[in-house]
């Protein structure tokens, strides 16, 4: 997918200061509201089921999590396949149903509708992209990748022929077989609809580079990660929520804990 790209350096001090001032306006209302919940947004061909091991690990740490099913995965209406904007609406609806501050965690394609949905969401205090796509306004996933979207004539894109290797290379064999069996065709429309609002521009954002990813090259991930405020790395394939759920849970917990401003000295 192109030549290797240099990993992004930290934002300049002035840029970081501008971001802190901007975030302070939006997050003060959530101070004292408790630990943020995590809203988990799956990628293409998956469903909310893929987060189950991660949610168990988060729950063991006393963290609240929610997972949303995107309508474009296995879109059933042949006359109108669900698209990226339908997915964004599903994420917005999920956010409205959660009390208190929320950090949105989006995997792979899920980063596209999450980018759209968190823009202007009142209770979103951060967004995390796990090998995801923080696209800018006017971009679609297909346009960013510059590759044609497979279409079997039904408006659906089938999963990879070798999904075991591409998506679950480092996942234990039994878990990988179960995951492959649950993959569903994904709406082509979701890959081609452009983003109209880029939430990562107005919310604190993190990017998790999966260093052994077979589906989205780490070089492309580093390119995308330049848009985030903080970059993290995991020695995983494309699906760390299945290959290393406890390690990913610990990382997301640290991110969530840092999402709200610290209370003033002597205050609660």
Q: Which residues in 183-205 are b (16+ Cβ under 10 Å) and which e?
A: bbbbbbbbbebbbeebbbebbbb
* Bridge partners of residue 186, in order along the sequence: 73, 157
pLDDT at 10: 39
Per-run averaged pLDDT (10 residues), the chain, 268 residues: 34 37 34 77 98 98 97 79 96 97 98 97 96 98 88 85 97 97 95 97 97 97 97 98 98 93 53
Domains of the chain: 13-257 (3.40.50.1820)
Give the model's pLDDT for residue 23.
Answer: 35
Count CB-CB contacts under 10 A for residue 10.
Answer: 10
pTM (2 decimals)? Answer: 0.86
| The pLDDT of residue 20 | 36
CA 47 to CA 45: how far, in whole Å?
7
Strand partners, 89: none
The 3-class SS string of the chain reads CCCCCCCCCCCCHHHHHHHHHHHHHHHHHHCCCCCCEEEEECCCCCCHHHHHHHHHHHHHCCCCEEEECCCCECCCCCCCCCCHHHHHHHHHHHHHCCCCCEEEEEEHHHHHHHHHHHCCCCCEEEEEEECCCCCCCCCCHHHHHCCCCCCCCCCEECCCCCHHHHHHCCCCHHHHHHHHHHCCCEEHHHHHCCCCCCHHHCCCEEEEEECCCCCCCHHHHHHHHCCCCEEEEECCCCCHHHHCHHHHHHHHHHHHHCCCCCCCCCCC
């Amino acid at each position: 997918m192109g030549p290797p790209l240099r990993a992004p350096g930290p934002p300049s001090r002035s840029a970081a200061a501008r971001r802190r001032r901007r975030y302070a306006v939006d997050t003060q209302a959530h101070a004292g509201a408790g630990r943020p919940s995590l809203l988990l947004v799956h990628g293409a061909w998956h469903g909310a089921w893929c987060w189950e091991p991660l949610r168990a690990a988060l729950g063991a740490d006393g963290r609240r999590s929610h997972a949303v099913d995107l309508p474009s995965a296995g879109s059933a209406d042949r006359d109108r396949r669900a698209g990226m904007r339908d997915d964004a609406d599903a994420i917005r609806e999920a956010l409205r149903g959660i009390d208190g501050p929320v950090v949105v965690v989006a995997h792979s394609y899920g980063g596209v509708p999450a980018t759209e949905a968190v823009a202007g969401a009142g209770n979103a205090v951060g967004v995390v992209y796990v090998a995801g796509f923080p696209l800018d306004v006017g971009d679609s996933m297909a346009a960013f990748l510059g590759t044609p979207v497979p279409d079997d004539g039904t408006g659906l894109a089938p999963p990879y022929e070798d999904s075991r290797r591409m998506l679950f290379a480092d996942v234990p064999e039994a878990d990988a077989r179960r995951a492959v069996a649950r993959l569903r065709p994904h709406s082509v429309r979701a890959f081609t609809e452009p983003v109209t609002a880029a939430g990562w521009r107005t919310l604190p954002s993190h990017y998790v580079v999966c260093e052994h990813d077979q589906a989205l090259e780490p070089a492309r991930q580093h390119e995308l990660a330049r848009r985030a405020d903080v970059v993290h790395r995991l020695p995983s394939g494309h699906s760390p929520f299945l290959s290393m759920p406890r390690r990913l849970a610990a990382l997301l917990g640290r991110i969530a804990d840092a999402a709200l401003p610290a209370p003033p000295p002597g205050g609660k």
